[in-house]
Amino acid sequence: MEECINEYLQPYISIMKFLVNILGEHSEIALHDLTSDEHTIVAIENGHVTGRKIGDNPTNFILQVKQKRLYEKQDFVSNYKAIGKDGSVFRSSSYFIKDSSGQLVGMLCVNTDIGFFQQAKDILDYFTTFTETNTNAVAGKMENKVTEEYLHGNMDDALETVVTDQLIKSKMPFERMSPEEKTVFIKTLYDQGVFMLKSSVHRVSELLQTSEPTVYRYLQKVKEISKS
């Protein structure tokens, strides 16, 4: 499936079809147009793998790439871990598509559901080993560390997952944090590109059970720190 594609992304349509024929039905190939902030998926093959479709939103990983400008230092990130909406684990890779001036205009993303291959591995391990074995988690190394990618098509779901994940790591509600801890918390969300989304401050304030002015205040502080 695909919709109207801009000139920089058009050549990748045939590459998508090439890749999906090589990788098979357990791999999703998604093309993102990043000249738009939302609804970035403009073409997709095997969308059933993650349940995403054309018109769905960018992931938290894509927002981080834009926020941290990773594309200025490298052309792609490969073999990293991503999580599906149902908890499925994916081996993912993303290629950065740039215009003639080096600006990021799109990304070609490959997401392979490793569940099928993990089952096959477990069966082979059972028949070919004589001692108890431990399954190995597949996770790729990156030159620039980012958090796990969440392959949600709906932006509100993705935003909620990112914020909730940070709250779990913080082990306390936002309102019980000290001003310094709140600053660190908001900076973590900022570094992940959360505040690049429209109406993100409103949604974040709801999830943190605090006021929008509070989130704005800490966000402004974080921006000032980032500039210094």
Give pLDDT tens digits for 41-54: 999 999 999 999 99
Q: Whole-prediction pTM value? A: 0.71
3-class DSSP state for residue 139?
Answer: coil
Residue 130: pLDDT band by 50, 70, 90 thresholds? low
Q: How far apart are the first and last CA of the chain?
A: 45
Residue type, 159: L
For residue 220, the model assigns a pLDDT of 93
pLDDT for 139: 39
Average pLDDT of span 91-117 = 94
Task: Compare 117 and 131 and report the one with higher pLDDT.
Answer: 117
Tens digit of pLDDT for each residue in 141-164? 444 455 678 787 777 777 888 898
Residue 173 has pLDDT above 80, yes or no: yes
Q: Are strands 41-45 and 104-113 parallel, antiparallel or unpaired?
A: unpaired
DSSP3 helix / strand / coil % (the chain, rounded to 5): 45, 20, 35
